[in-house]
Amino acid sequence: MNNLTQRARMQPVLGVGTGIAAFASAAIVFLILIFLLVFAWPAIRFNGSGILTGVIWNIGNQYGSSTVTHNGVTAQAGASFGGLVFVFGTIATSALAMVIAVPLSFLVAVALVYRVPRKLQPLANTLVELMAGVPSVVYGLWGIVVLVPWVGNQLGPFAQAHLSWVPLVRGETGSGNGLLAAGIILALMVLPIMVATLRDVILAQPPTIFEASMALGSTTWQAVTRAVFPSVRKGFLAAVLVALGRALGETMAVLMVCGAAINQFPSNIFQAVNTIAAVIVSQLDSALTDASGMAQRSLAELALVLFLITLVVNVVARLTLRGADRSAQ
């Protein structure tokens, strides 16, 4: 009786506590958005649509006293803050990562659910999920030491010798720092997120779907692709979107292998590229030398663009995953 009384007393406290936590989470996201908008507002007025359409990123002449004024906002003479190269790099690296990670994650998730012996499944799941805990700088270090030399010395020359007819491969391969290396690193980093989500979505389905298909004479692959996959299609899409949200905002590992290109687009998948998150880190030191502060505010405007893209992707992913959960019920 005493336990029931204590639980009854704790129920309102628990409700208030969870409500405060949920409100605080939403408030933090809202406050970050407001801060970025307020801090970047002068840059929004100065750059206009150029932040999304311009190619040249130049903080201007830092050794003279001349300035320019546009829409009532002052910046150093020669300043130009075009972010199209970085927006393209963000989308390209994330898209390439999804091309690599999606089929691999699907195969790993299917293997974990249907092919790995039941006694080994906890160990296999733990090993996959441990990948999510590896710091991004460790992935980046591995990329510099192992991946970049391999891409530059082995994969690049091989592709030029045998696949030069493919437009995305044709051209100089460079040192290995570039779009392909960044895409591979991102694929490895989002792999455990996608595998865990796909595994949970598959396990949420009634096992009779798979078992009935196998009883009718299907192979494991046929049962998965023709019976299980149609029922988890929304969850599969949600897993891809969740992983995409992670890939869009990844910074350090990408910066270490992407080549940090400025004011140029890559001519093939081996050429240097840059992303919004990476350029914010790499250009922050030079931006701090801008006496007008416009370079810092333009970086904040890029951060605002990235924030909105990532927010939209994650919201769509959560809504899709919720729809998958309801359909499973």
pLDDT digit string (tens) for the chain, length 329 residues: 456 566 666 677 777 778 888 888 889 989 999 999 999 999 999 988 888 998 999 888 766 667 888 778 888 888 889 999 999 999 999 999 999 999 999 999 988 888 888 888 888 888 888 888 888 999 999 999 999 999 999 998 888 888 888 888 888 888 889 999 999 999 999 999 899 888 888 888 888 888 888 888 888 888 888 888 888 888 888 888 888 888 998 889 999 999 888 888 998 999 999 999 999 999 988 888 888 889 999 999 999 999 988 888 878 877 776 665 555 55
Residue 167, helix vs strand vs coil: coil
Q: How many CB atoms lie within 10 A of CB 306?
A: 21
Asked if 265 and 85 count as a contact pair (C-beta separation under 8 A), the reply is yes
The CATH number of the domain holding residue 193 is 1.10.3720.10
Spatial separation of the C-alpha atoms in residues 115 and 133, rounded to whole Å: 25
How far apart (Å, rounded) are the C-alpha atoms in residues 256 and 278? 9
pLDDT value at residue 174 = 82
Q: Is residue 139 part of a domain?
A: yes
Within-domain flag for 130: yes
How many C-beta neighbours within 10 Å does residue 317 have? 20
**pLDDT at site 222:** 85
Does residue 52 lie in a domain region?
no
302 within domain boundaries: no
Sort 114 into a burial class: Cβ within 10 Å, 0-12 / 13-18 / 19+: middle
Q: Which of 55, 50, 60, 42 is nearest to 290 (CA)?
A: 60
Length of the chain counted residue by residue: 329
Q: Does some domain include residue 135?
A: yes
User: Between the CA of residue 9 and those of 17, 19, 20, what are the distances in Å?
Assistant: 13, 17, 18
User: How far from the centroid of its chain's Cα atoms is residue 117's Cα?
Assistant: 32
Q: Tell me, yes or no, whether 38 lies in a domain.
A: no
What is the residue range of 89's domain? 83-282
CA Rg value for the chain:
24
Alpha-carbon distances, residue 68 vs 27, 64, 189, 268, 319 (angstroms): 37, 12, 43, 37, 46
pTM for the model stands at 0.86
* Mean of the per-residue pLDDT values of the chain: 86
Compute the distance between CA of residue 172 and CA of residue 152 in angstroms, rounded to an integer: 10
Q: How many domains does the chain have?
A: 1
d(CA 110, CA 119): 16
Is residue 263 in a domain?
Answer: yes
For the chain, the helix, strand and coil percentages under 3-state DSSP, each to the nearest 5:
70, 5, 25
147, burial (CB in 10 Å: exposed 0-12, middle 13-18, buried 19+): buried
* Tokens coding 100: 């690599």
Query: Does 1 map to a domain?
Result: no
